[in-house]
Amino acid sequence: MKKTKQAHNPMHLRFAVLSVDVALFTMRDHRLFVRLIAVNRPPYFVNGKGLPGGLVDPKETAEEAVKRHIEAKALIDPEKTYLEQLYTFSGIDRDPRGRVVAVAYTALVPWEKLSATERGDTDSAFWVPVGEARELAYDHDEILGMAENRLQSRIAYTTLISKLLPKEFTLTEMEQTYESILHANLDKRNFRKKILKLNIIKSIGRKRADGAFRPAELYRFAENKVKEIEIL
Amino acid sequence: MKKTKQAHNPMHLRFAVLSVDVALFTMRDHRLFVRLIAVNRPPYFVNGKGLPGGLVDPKETAEEAVKRHIEAKALIDPEKTYLEQLYTFSGIDRDPRGRVVAVAYTALVPWEKLSATERGDTDSAFWVPVGEARELAYDHDEILGMAENRLQSRIAYTTLISKLLPKEFTLTEMEQTYESILHANLDKRNFRKKILKLNIIKSIGRKRADGAFRPAELYRFAENKVKEIEIL
DNA sequence: TCACGTGGTGTATTATTGACAATAACTAAA
DNA sequence: TTTAGTTATTGTCAATAATACACCACGTGA
């Protein structure tokens, strides 16, 4: 009888506050950074930090909400980012303000695509090396950890790395990006052989001179779409 | 000003109806089946079918809600199933009754674990071969399609198959399960070499006589946990 | 004991991986 | 112009893994 009564409640009496949170990553001189925002709500008054996020409006999808909050909270143009849904966190006490279910997203953006403002830090939004982003508000440590794990495994069997690299890049940059995310060293020769055989990137016939040494061949991704291929 | 006003609305005015849906799979004589339920709500009156699911209560997590609905709607003991979150669907018009956000799950259960009742079909809950489960209510075709895709890719690089096989199984059964899900033929000798080298299963030293022919060695999984290993 | 049907195994070939270091290209300073 | 300094680029060999492929083993029941 209890169950039946619940099941017959009008829908508007059943509600959950729905929110989105996003782990927005970029690769800044071979280190992975995440965009954090200041959290100044109880009980996170003192120097609180957390992932950008906020509520979902009744008339927007979760993805639209993420984009809106990336713009408003992270102060980054959402159109520059690549979004993937990560996981939905529905723990009852994950937010001290009440029942809030969060759909978490991972977002990637190449550092080179960002404007000077977007690269900068303010009191309310700032870039932090992933390794130093700890003790975040709510369950954001868990969300960030899951985002990092997922990123690590997905770059190994998809072309996701293309969403962190600039349009034109060298093989050394590509290799360093992998090494930084995977916390591993790759063999230069074997890496090049493997990547070139996959036909996911193509030389654009130009070189980049970056100092007093041999310039590196520039490449770009053959497709814009993220494909599922065994890379490493 | 509009944005500011929204942002300051009290939380209880921002709501979404949160629901869960589940693609519950089992492997019944080498074919993948999914559990469907009758859907008799407008506009799905005539012979409507859909995935089991329902609303999330304010005091339960999404996973608890899935388990509750697996029991109540699919008429299967949820403790027998293995659950994985699939994706959250937040399309504004996905449910004609109003705004309903769905957290979709995949559930797996070995056919051998089910009771006679659970194996049976009623008017309101029944097993259907995955290939024949089409034209479902709401966006359940999309959810089921995504669940099937995810299952296909995850059995290739995790030990997920263990959640579809009975406790004790033969190598032939294991191979047929892979073949059925992947819609592919595997080489018997190479399959056995590969699986045995991975050390994910161990012989239990007994055989199963299944007819007038040589009995097959029985195996069981070494670990209960689903591990991420390259299998195929 | 033999016919039947499934279970179980080995080998040879090819493809892939992984470990390894020398030369090329360019700049700037002597 | 020569040289020193720095990064870019390339190939070989050995080991391992992947693939293709066919026969005997084992148990049952006629």
Of B18, B91, B98, the CB nearest to A16: B18
Closest CA to A50 of A111, A94, A85, A16: A94
Write out the E strands in B31-133: 31-39, 48-50, 53-55, 82-89, 100-108, 125-129
Are the CB atoms for A119 and A111 separated by under 8 Å?
A: yes
At residue B84, the 3 state secondary structure works out as: strand
Q: Which nucleotide is nearest to B188 (CA to C1')?
A: C8
Rounded CA separation A175/B188 (Å): 38
Among A82-91, B94-103, B203-212, the least confident range: B203-212
Closest by CA position to B64, among listed B45, B80, B83, B49: B83
Whether the per-residue pLDDT at B226 is higher than 80: the answer is: yes
Q: Which of A182, A225, A231, A226 is nearest to A30 (CA)?
A: A182
pLDDT at B5: 36
C-alpha to C-alpha distance for A55 and A66, rounded to whole angstroms: 9
- CA dist A99 → A37, A137, B205, B211 (Å): 21, 15, 51, 57
Residue A22: pLDDT over 60: yes
Q: What is the pLDDT of residue A105?
A: 98
Mean pLDDT (whole number) for B142-151: 98
Nucleotides of C under 7 A from a protein CB: 3-11, 17-21, 24-28
- Interatomic distance B205 CA / D28 C1' (Å): 21
Mean per-residue pLDDT, A167-190: 97
- pLDDT average, residue stretch A151-172: 96
Residue whose structure tokens are 């009496």: A13
Q: Which of residues 152-211 of A touch strand C (CB under 7 A)?
A: 187-190, 193-194, 207, 209, 211
d(CA B165, CA B178): 10
H or E element that contains B155: helix B140-157
The partner residues of B89 in beta bridges, in order of sequence, read B102
Mean pLDDT of the A194-199 span? 95
Minimum distance, in Å, between the CA of residue B78 and any CA atom of chain A:
17
Quick check: A10 pLDDT over 80? no
Whether the link from the prior residue into B43 is cis, omega within 30° of 0, is yes
Please judge whether A88 and B103 are an interchain contact, meaning their C-beta atoms are less than 8 angstroms apart: yes
Closest by CA position to A161, among listed A103, A121, A219: A219
pLDDT at A6 over 60: no
Q: Which of A64, A88, A100, A230 to mutate to test the interface with B (most CBs of B within 10 A)?
A: A88
Asked if B87 and A85 come within 8 Å (Cβ–Cβ), the reply is yes
Nearest to B58 among A12, A87, A99 (CB): A99
pTM comes to: 0.91
Over residues A118-124, mean pLDDT = 97
For the stretch B34-71, pLDDT in tens is 999 999 887 776 789 999 999 999 999 999 999 999 99
Which residues between 55 and 74 in chain B have a beta carbon less than 8 angstroms from any beta carbon of chain A? 55-63, 72
Bridge partner residues of B126 (DSSP): B36
Q: Kindly indicate the confidence band of residue B4, based on its pLDDT and cuts at 50, 70 and 90.
A: very low
Q: What percent of chain B has pLDDT over 90?
A: 84
- Whether B209 has a pLDDT exceeding 60, the answer reads yes
| pLDDT over threshold 70, residue A11 | no
Q: Identify whether the C-beta of residue A61 lies closer than 8 Å to the C-beta of residue A13.
A: no
In this predicted model, what pLDDT tens digit does every residue of A92-109 receive, in sequence order? Answer: 999 988 899 999 999 999
> In b/e form, how buried is each residue of B110-129, taking b as 16+ CB within 10 angstroms?
bbebbeeebeeeeeebbbee
Mean predicted confidence (pLDDT) in B76-92: 98
Mutation pick from A17, A19, A84 vs chain B, by most beta carbons of B within 10 Å, is: A17
pLDDT of residue B8: 37
In chain A, pLDDT over 70 holds for what percent of residues?
A: 93
Task: With a cut of 60, say whether residue A150 has pLDDT above it.
Answer: yes
Give the C-alpha separation, A192 to A172, whole Å. 9
pLDDT at B76: 98
| Confidence (pLDDT) at A72 | 98
| Mean pLDDT along residues B113-130 | 97
Q: Is the pLDDT of residue B2 over 70?
A: no
Residue A90 is predicted with a pLDDT of 97
Q: How far, in Å, is the CA of A129 from the C1' of nucleotide C23?
A: 38
Residue A88, chain B, CB below 8 Å: the answer is yes
Give the three-class secondary structure for B83: strand
Residue with the two structure tokens 């360093």: A176
Distances (CA, A) of A231 to A196, A197, A198, A219, B157: 11, 10, 8, 17, 14
